[in-house]
Structure 1
Amino acid sequence: MFFCRIIVLILFLSPLQGHAKTNVLFINPGLPEESFWGSVDGYISEAAKQLDIKLEIYHARRDHINAIDFLTRRLTVTPLPDYIVLVNEKGIGAKMLDTVRGFPIFVTFVLNDLSEIDKRQAYKDAHWQTFLLPGLFPDNEYIGRETAAALFEAGGEVPAEVAVISGDKTTPASQQRELGAMTFIQHNIEMAFTQRVFGHWREENAYRQSKALIARYGELRYVWTANDHMAFGVQQAAVDMGLVVGEDIFISTVNTSKRVLLELKAGKIAALGGGHFVAPGLVLTKISKHVDQGYWSKTDRLPLFEIIEPNSELHAILLSEEWQRIDFPHLDVEAVPFSAFKQAE
């Protein structure tokens, strides 16, 4: 009888003792102190906690060579990750895949996808037919177009000049946001396009560029920017050039840092889009289901972007950043309608 009880006890405990957390490596291409990438870290970390995933985050600090060097070194250390989440920042996705090729590690991309050429090439490889999983990507062209439209409306639809401060030349998100903005501008005869510059996502770059743009174009009223840091640079340049933000010049941007949310409410940002920082965290819900059920949803495009209105419920959620209130185990990216901010009941 005693031995029977011992056997039953062993059988009961063995699943718990044998359970090993899923190891996920996320290579964050940005800096932890950047508003967008900081929000990414907070959201994905809470998702990992609730889903019982061991998450490792490495910040490449906007250095694509650094990202590849780290990945090469990391693959020499055990235990290896079970999954790697990558961002095709500055077009290095194919090189990162080459680094991981041959390892029994599932790889998925978020935010910035591989180019169609690179994707087709990868799926010709038997290894990637098994280990490259569909990613999760926001519609950047949509938010580029919508923020440009909201910018024109916020400026009273007054006919005037407009400038575009894009991110960089190679990152897909930057290209697509710019395409959306330019589509609206080019089809709006009331907006006279002046110039596009690349701020490389940095406030100091946009500051210098904006001073030159304001000096060069006397009727400049609208400035579309691809992220909040560059918008802050435009704001400071406008002030230093004697303009009143929200009266003489109107600025739109993308991202949802606390600072930009507060400045939207104060009228210093004319139009704001955001919400896409959740994509890496949502991929963890797909990984969890893949581990438990062997199932990977084919959903790769979600309406993650929204125009953020001041004093709205979404504005309050984004401002609070209380991600622990979100019910990650029950988020279903295939649900219609879908919300990345569904809270536990």
Structure 2
Amino acid sequence: MFKALCQSLCLFLPLSAGAQAASVVFLNPGHANENFWVGYTRFMQAAADDLGMQLRVEYSERRADLVLSQARAILSGPQRPDYLVLVNELYVAPEIIRLSRDSGVQLFLVNNGLTDNQLESVRAQPDKYPPVLGTLTSNDEQAGYQMLREMVAKLPPSDEPIDLLAFAGVKTTPASQRREQGMRRALADHPQVRLRQVVYGGWNRERAFEQAQLLLERYPQAQLVWSANDEMAFGAMQAFEAAGRKPGVDVLFGAVNSSPEALRARIDGRLSVLMGGHVTVGGWAMVMLHDHAQGIAINRDGSDEYSLPVLQSIDQAKARRWLALQEADDYGLDFHRFSAEGRPADYRYPFLTSPVDY
């Protein structure tokens, strides 16, 4: 607690002679008590501590108006960070990019990049929108696809139709869109699976619980529940359990996220399929920003947009291992070993090409 407080208070104090610690502000789109985004921040902080960087995090509570006011204050204030890391949640990124013009702060997007339409508009108006340093997203479409395929594979063979319910996140969140697209792609491989309805649970447990109660009345034979995050899966699970259904036995749940609760549910079988690992994306962004601050080009291969293969299927053994690692502040990782510092010019960040089993 004291360490975190000190980092927050000392973020923009003058550095001693010769110190070159890069300062970063992360506009976290989630709630300050939201499992995924709290874990996400912890991984970023572990990277910052290991790399000698200064990190401050501001939570926007999933409010577009709040994140824009936070960005405005940061980008126009007297003590600006070197880098601002943001997420294109609720499509806020173009306006923040516009606000950054002439601020001297370089922007880096994580998890949700610009949509195709936004990217076209931004690139067409370079006088209005300065260039973004880079974008790191996760393999959301593949995760949505793989999750449904693994769920179907766990069912006993049958010629009978299989009813599926799906809980997507937010319509204006690219990651949610891509996961849903992957789920729909998997449906083409399994014609016996009938998608009864997709609802948008807003990543929220209580909302998904209420939605699942109604869906159960309409589709009482549902055997599969696909969810774009763990909170919605647990909300839906609560409704099914109240109706006398047993998760992992007569209804299978799949979810995305590697929170401690999700890992435990995968271990005990209440979650039949779990995709996780994207909690690390912000930490990998910190590695790249550390290198950039040292004068190392992070787009040496000519690209500034990357989809990382971080989302992977978590079996029970991996869930146990990850649960133990999350109890360590540093996640058991030496972030320096991923840096391009001191590497050949053709060095490629390992997390760009394969998942890191932290």
With normalisation by structure 1, the TM-score equals 0.89
Partner of 1:7: none
Q: Is the 8 A contact 2:97 2:129 kept in 1?
A: no
CA distance in 2 between counterparts of 1:319 and 1:191 reads 36
The answer to which of 220-229 and 159-168 deviates more is: 159-168
Deviations 1:280-329 (A, max 9, x none): 110111111111133113361221110001113x6413443135120111
Cα pair distance change 1:129/1:266, threshold 3 Å: same
How far did 1:340 drift?
Answer: 3.4
Amino acid at match of 2:60: A
CA distance in 1 between counterparts of 2:291 and 2:50 reads 13
Q: Is the 8 A contact 1:261 1:319 kept in 2?
A: no
Instruction: Indicate yes or no: 2:104 matched with 1:98.
Output: no
> In the TM superposition, what are the counterparts of 1:174-253 in structure 2 within 5 Å?
174-253=176-255
Instruction: Indicate yes or no: 2:356 matched with 1:340.
Output: yes
> In the TM superposition, what are the counterparts of 1:114-133 in structure 2 within 5 Å?
114-126=114-126, 131-133=131-133
Corresponding residue to 1:327 among 318, 334, 337: 334
CA distance in 2 between counterparts of 1:43 and 1:187 reads 36
Q: Is the 8 A contact 1:32 1:41 kept in 2?
A: no
The structure that is helix-richer by fraction is 1
Partner of 2:143: 143
Cα pair distance change 1:97/1:60, threshold 3 Å: same
Amino acid at match of 1:266: D
Partner of 1:171: 173
The answer to which of 159-168 and 329-338 deviates more is: 329-338
Deviations 1:218-243 (A, max 9, x none): 32111101100001111110111111
Partner of 2:73: 73
CA distance in 2 between counterparts of 1:128 and 1:280 reads 27
Partner of 1:10: none
> In the TM superposition, what are the counterparts of 1:79-94 in structure 2 within 5 Å?
79-94=79-94
How far did 1:245 drift?
Answer: 1.4
Cα pair distance change 1:337/1:80, threshold 3 Å: closer
Amino acid at match of 1:320: L
CA distance in 2 between counterparts of 1:105 and 1:134 reads 13
Partner of 2:306: 300
CA distance in 1 between counterparts of 2:41 and 2:70 reads 18
How far did 1:84 drift?
Answer: 0.7
Q: Is the 8 A contact 1:145 1:183 kept in 2?
A: yes
How far did 1:77 drift?
Answer: 2.5
Partner of 1:255: 257
Partner of 2:154: 154
Amino acid at match of 2:70: F
What SS does the aligned partner of 2:232 have? helix
Give percent identity, aligned residues only: 26
CA distance in 2 between counterparts of 1:36 and 1:22 reads 25
Partner of 2:50: 50
Amino acid at match of 2:336: P
Corresponding residue to 1:278 among 277, 280, 286: 280
The answer to which of 44-53 and 296-305 deviates more is: 296-305
Kindly report the root-mean-square deviation, in angstroms, between the aligned alpha carbons of the 2 structures.
2.1
The answer to which of 185-194 and 37-46 deviates more is: 185-194
Q: Tell me, which stretches of 5 or more residues in structure 1 are unaligned? A: 1-14
Q: Is the 8 A contact 2:47 2:283 kept in 1?
A: yes
What SS does the aligned partner of 1:311 have? helix
How far did 1:271 drift?
Answer: 0.5
Amino acid at match of 2:37: W
How far did 1:123 drift?
Answer: 3.1
The answer to which of 119-128 and 57-66 deviates more is: 119-128
CA distance in 1 between counterparts of 2:62 and 2:324 reads 25
Partner of 2:111: 111
Which protein shows a greater Rg? 1
How far did 1:187 drift?
Answer: 3.2
The answer to which of 241-250 and 223-232 deviates more is: 241-250
CA distance in 1 between counterparts of 2:222 and 2:98 reads 46
Cα pair distance change 1:278/1:171, threshold 3 Å: same
Instruction: Indicate yes or no: 2:322 matched with 1:311.
Output: no
Q: Tell me, which stretches of 5 or more residues in structure 2 are unaligned? A: 1-14, 340-347
Amino acid at match of 1:305: L
CA distance in 2 between counterparts of 1:328 and 1:341 reads 13
With normalisation by structure 2, the TM-score equals 0.86
CA distance in 2 between counterparts of 1:16 and 1:132 reads 29
**Number of residues of Structure 1 aligned to a counterpart in Structure 2:** 327
How far did 1:193 drift?
Answer: 1.4
